[in-house]
Amino acid sequence: MGKSLAENILKTLEESGYEAYFVGGCVRDWLLNRPVHDIDICTNAHPGDVMRLFPQHVPTGLKHGTVSVKEGGSLFEVTTYRTEGEYEDFRRPKEVNFVSELQLDLERRDFTMNAMAMDRYGVLVDPFHGLSDLKNGLIRAVGHPEQRFREDALRILRAVRFAAQLNFRIEEKTLAAMKGTAELLQHIAIERIREELQKMLESPAPAVGTALIVETAALQAWPRLQTLFAKAKGQSDRLAALPNLPHKWALLMYAAGFLYEEARQACLELKLSKRDKELICALVQTLADIHPKWDVPQNIDWQSHLLERGWQFCTELNALLQACWKNKPDRDIANALMQIYEQMPVKSVQELALNGHDLYTQLSKKPGQWVHDLLQHLWEQTAFYQLPNTPEALLEEARKEVARHEH
Ligand code: ATP
Ligand code: MG
């Protein structure tokens, strides 16, 4: 992806007398034959030189030496070799200094597998033996591990998520240093922590990451989240079967025995969006209601779920149940649900032959919550109780329902 375009950038830099290399994640992923999503370039040219050489650029991070160069419609980050000054607060270097040697730039990087550079002919620059660690499936800090985690504690969680993404082990001294410095994660913003946790949950081997969180007590500053991973550890291999993050969080929380309120607190701590929070809590609660043990639920009342929360929610719940039942594939819930759904003559309030406006004009009443409730009632009647979906039948039922409520 985009490699030949990026090669043009290296070529232009070289022909202007500078050094230029591919660096970091893209080199690692090429060597592993994994898909590469962003190509980073490093160079001894200063940002001003880069901007001059490539008129099509966006100055995305000049302070850190980064200019995004546009080539063939794609953007590539070109960053000047740099070291990072003293670390202020376990996360942010006070300053960055531009340097003229590639080696110094590689030294500031977190793990040996991320500290390799490659020129445009494919020649590797690998001063910390990252290739050998890659071959052995090992994550190893560059330099003194404890010092590196003290500089930037987020690296602890980066190691955890790389272990899960690549199914790698963590080298012994690196792992010991992670345990020794895990408390420093308290200084890192939860949004950044959540980001790494989510990459871990979306990885092919989430159970590897979960086990490492437990082993290193990485989330000790957030006891509820640490407990979540500790309690859900045994079920975390089920995560990979789920399509998206809210499901994954819901499964973890359910597996940890969280109910609605605890799930809500966990979502608040993670600063998840309101929408995700609401979906997760509803899933956790429903799962706990119908599925109290890790066992096949016998009678799921899909009808009431469909009415209460709609088709979308049912399919979300269905995906979760499928994952929970990984070991018992004999029950085909998806089909059962699909059948109920297909048989519903009216699949949503929007398909009714009447809308809210029709209701309050025909019944000569002021609009209000009652319109919503009444539409829901009409939908239920048409979907499951054979009320014909015609304006006349709906209006008659609506009149009866209003009368029932007024008595
Ligand atoms: P991903 O596949 O998630 O993009 P990546 O290795 O490319 O993985 P990025 O966050 O994109 O990760 O960072 C690019 C490179 O910058 C890394 O490969 C690493 O060399 C360096 N890097 C990123 N974050 C840190 C950090 N916290 N400490 C040291 N080096 C880092
Ligand atoms: Mg990257």
Strand partners, 97: 83
Pocket-testing residue among 109, 112, 201, ligand 1, by greatest number of atoms within 8 A of Cβ: 109
The answer to whether 255 and 231 are in contact (CB under 8 A) is yes
Instruction: Give how far Cα 406 sits from Cα of 365, 393, 402, Å.
Output: 13, 20, 6
Q: How far is CA 335 from the centre of its chain?
A: 29
Q: Is the pTM of this model over 0.95?
A: no
- 227-257 confidence digits (pLDDT tens): 999 999 888 888 888 878 999 999 999 999 9
Cβ of residue 109 lying under 6 Å from some atom of ligand 1: yes
Query: In sequence order, what are the residues at sequence separation of 6 or more whose Cβ sits closer than 8 angstroms to the Cβ of residue 155?
Result: 110, 111, 141, 148, 149
- 282-298 confidence digits (pLDDT tens): 999 988 887 767 666 66
- Cα(403)–Cα(383) distance, integer angstroms: 22
Q: Above pLDDT 90, what percent of the chain? A: 73
Amino acid at 122: G
Pocket-testing residue among 32, 90, 110, ligand 1, by greatest number of atoms within 8 A of Cβ: 110
In 3D space, the residue among 288, 290, 281 whose CA is nearest the CA of residue 257 turns out to be 288
Q: What is the mean pLDDT of residues 71-79?
A: 94
- The upper half-sphere exposure of residue 375, i.e. CA atoms within 13 Å in the direction of its Cβ, equals 19
Q: How far is the CA of 350 from the centre of ligand 2 (A)?
A: 44
- Please say if the pLDDT value at position 330 is more than 60: no
- Please say if the pLDDT value at position 309 is more than 90: no
- Please say if the pLDDT value at position 77 is more than 80: yes
H or E element that contains 197: helix 190-201
H or E element that contains 80: strand 74-80
* Strand 74-80 with 40-43, pairing: parallel
Cβ of residue 155 lying under 6 Å from some atom of ligand 1: yes
Q: Above pLDDT 70, what percent of the chain? A: 93
pLDDT at 243: 79
Most confident range, picked from 239-243, 253-257, 269-273, 367-371? 269-273
Q: 257 by DSSP, 3-state: which? A: coil
In 3D space, the residue among 281, 246, 248 whose CA is nearest the CA of residue 263 turns out to be 281
- 5-60 confidence digits (pLDDT tens): 999 999 999 999 999 999 999 999 999 999 998 999 999 999 999 999 999 999 99
pLDDT at 332: 65
Q: How far is the CA of 310 from the centre of ligand 2 (A)?
A: 38
* Cα angle 272-277-219, degrees, rounded to a multiple of 5: 50
What is the token pair recorded at 110?
């977190």
pLDDT at 87: 66
- Cα(145)–Cα(292) distance, integer angstroms: 44
Strand partners, 170: 139
ipTM score for this prediction: 0.98
